Structure 1
Amino acid sequence: MSAVLALAIFLSCFAMLPVRAETIEDCHIVITDGDSIDIYGERIRILNIDAPESFRSRCEAELKLALRTKERLANLLRSGPVEIRREAQDRYRRTLAILSVREGDVGQILVREKLALP
């Protein structure tokens, strides 16, 4: 019986480790900004890009671009499976990750389309 208990403790320790990479399909993704999403309570910021702010925009032009960026991000993430490669956490305790879809790296797509800055 002690071997079973030891195995259960061992497996529970590994269950607490964060998943570094995964592919998700058909999940509830909340777009919080042009460079941030929420998946089942995990706040994720797209690594290596900066998108216009929709919450505290400095002007109407920034708000319009922010809303276009959020719309494009939503379209990309809902186009099929999303691969999430977790890299680190930022000072706000958000997961910093690279997101990929069939079209490629989501951050690079947004930068290429001039919806975000590198």
Structure 2
Amino acid sequence: MALLVAKALVLTALTVAAWLYLVRQGGREAIAAPDCRVAYVYDGDTIAMACDGRPEVTARLQGFDTAETKEPRCDEERAHGALATDRLRQLVKRGGAEITRVGQDKYNRPLIRLSVQGEDVGETLIREGLAVPYNGGARIDWCERLR
């Protein structure tokens, strides 16, 4: 009986340690999401994601920021955001999209990396001048940048 109790205590301790590790990591471990697909592109850095028959969920793409299209602060931002949105839609239409979950953003949306045919879409948009690198914190003023 004592051996059974000792095994249960060890298993409990290992489980608690694993949970504490995950909490400290802030959910940032990458998890491939092969059962998920891009259902809709909202803008250059936000998509609707459909996973294994569950309702669609809005997801934020990590590692870059694009100009706003929903509530832009100037006409230049709206136009640049539309270009980024169109380009992301083109990339997704090529097929071969792979979603990797890397955590959650401050609005509790899944935070993901999106690759198309093996290339990270954020890197593509940054290289093409449609996005800037972004890993949290204050976002750039797109109106100032584009003028």
TM-score bracket, normalised by the shorter chain, equals 0.7 to 0.9
Give, in angstroms, the shift of residue 103 of structure 1: 5.8
Runs of at least 5 residues in structure 2 that lack an aligned partner in the other structure? 1-29, 51-55, 134-147
Paired-residue identity, %: 35
- Match in the other structure for 2:31: 20
> Which structure: larger Rg?
2
The reply to whether residue 109 of structure 1 matches residue 120 of structure 2 is: no
Q: Output the TM-score relative to the length of structure 1.
A: 0.76
1:66 pairs, out of 61, 64, 81, with 81
Amino acid at match of 2:49: I
1:39 is paired with a residue whose SS is strand
Identify if the C-alpha distance between structure 1 residues 87 and 110 changes in structure 2 by more than 3 Å, giving closer, same or farther: same
Relative contact order, higher structure (CA 8 A, sep 6+): 1
Give, in angstroms, the shift of residue 22 of structure 1: 2.9
Runs ≥4 residues deviating over 2 A: 22-25
Query: How many residues end up aligned between the 2 structures?
Result: 99
**C-alpha distance after superposition, 1:52-80 (max 9, x if no partner):** 00011111111001001000000101101
State how 1:34-53 maps to structure 2 within 5 Å.
34-40=44-50, 41-53=56-68
Taking only aligned residues, the RMSD between alpha carbons, in angstroms, comes to 1.9
Amino acid at match of 2:119: G
**C-alpha distance after superposition, 1:9-56 (max 9, x if no partner):** xxxxxxxxxx9213469x562111110000231211110101100011
Runs of at least 5 residues in structure 1 that lack an aligned partner in the other structure? 1-18
